[in-house]
Structures are given as structure tokens and as C-alpha cells.
Amino acid sequence: MYTKKVMDHFQNPRNMGEIEGASGVGTVGNAKCGDIMRIYLDIEDEIIKDVKFKTFGCGAAVATSSMATELVKGKTVKEAMEVTNKAVMEALDGLPRAKVHCSLLAEEALQAALWDYAKKNGIVIEGLVEPKPFEEHEEEEEEF
């Protein structure tokens, strides 16, 4: 049902954790299943130097966050905008149909983190739209 790459990223997720004082942080929730994902970006001179994620969700959500972080690491902000859920799924050699919505979390969390970075720095990133507010964004401190 899952490809080898999905299983690999699920069992050995890359870039899991958080970045203190990150340039941008994005948290999103999947309304369908209640799963939550947060992505931290460390950006210097428009280059994503480091990226970490935390996911409270299913195996496909963990695998897609892991792959999304791998795809954006070392890239420019502009290149990171091309890391869509489709690109993440392709890099994982596909996801079962019922799990496609899980890959949207990674794209949305990444874009929310880029939005946060842009907002903090007063810049505009072409094609980036404001993410839906995540209610627990400010007050939520617990580990997930």
C-alpha cells in the first residue's frame, strides 16, 4: 500500500524537531482528521539554511513532512514555493488515494512558515497567500 520511500521517511523521519528563534514558523491543522503539523525555517539571505518539523498525525503526514523538509533544505525561498503537495508525493513515489489529503498539510505548513518569515521581515513572496489562522498557534505550548 505504501511505497518504500514513504515507509523509509515514516520510520526514519528527517529533520524532526524544532528551531529556537526560527525565521519563520507555520502551524496548520487538517480539518478532516484533526492532525497537526508545524514547520520551522531558518532563512539567511533568502536561503533555507535549516528546517525542522513536528507532526502530530498519521504515517503519511510524517513521511510527507519529512520529505518536504528534505526538498526545501538549502533551497531559495522562491524554489521552496515550488514544493507543492504534488512535488512531495512524486518524491515519495506516490501515496494511496485516501492519503493524498495528508500531503496537503506539509505544503500548507511550509507556506505558513514562509508567510511568517515574510511578515516578520516585511517582504512579499510572489504567489504566497495568507494561511488560514490556526487557533492554537499562539497559546499552544505542549509538545506534539
Note the residues at the interface with ligand FES (CB under 6 A).
30, 33, 35, 57-58, 60-61, 99, 102, 105
- Indicate which residue of 102, 109, 112, 114 is catalytic: 102
Task: Check if the beta carbon of residue 38 is closer than 8 Å to that of residue 51.
Answer: no
Q: Are strands 47-56 and 24-29 parallel, antiparallel or unpaired?
A: unpaired
- Which residues are CB-neighbours of 143 under 8 A, at least 6 positions away? 54
d(CA 102, CA 94): 12
When the beta carbons of 60 and 92 are compared against ligand FES, the nearer one is 60
Smallest gap from Cβ 106 to ligand FES, in A, equals: 9
Is residue 102 annotated as part of the catalytic site, yes or no?
yes
Smallest gap from Cβ 59 to ligand FES, in A, equals: 8
Is residue 58 annotated as part of the catalytic site, yes or no?
no
- Indicate which residue of 17, 32, 33, 121 is catalytic: 33
C-alpha dist (Å) from residue 57 to 31, 36, 116: 12, 6, 22
Smallest gap from Cβ 118 to ligand FES, in A, equals: 26
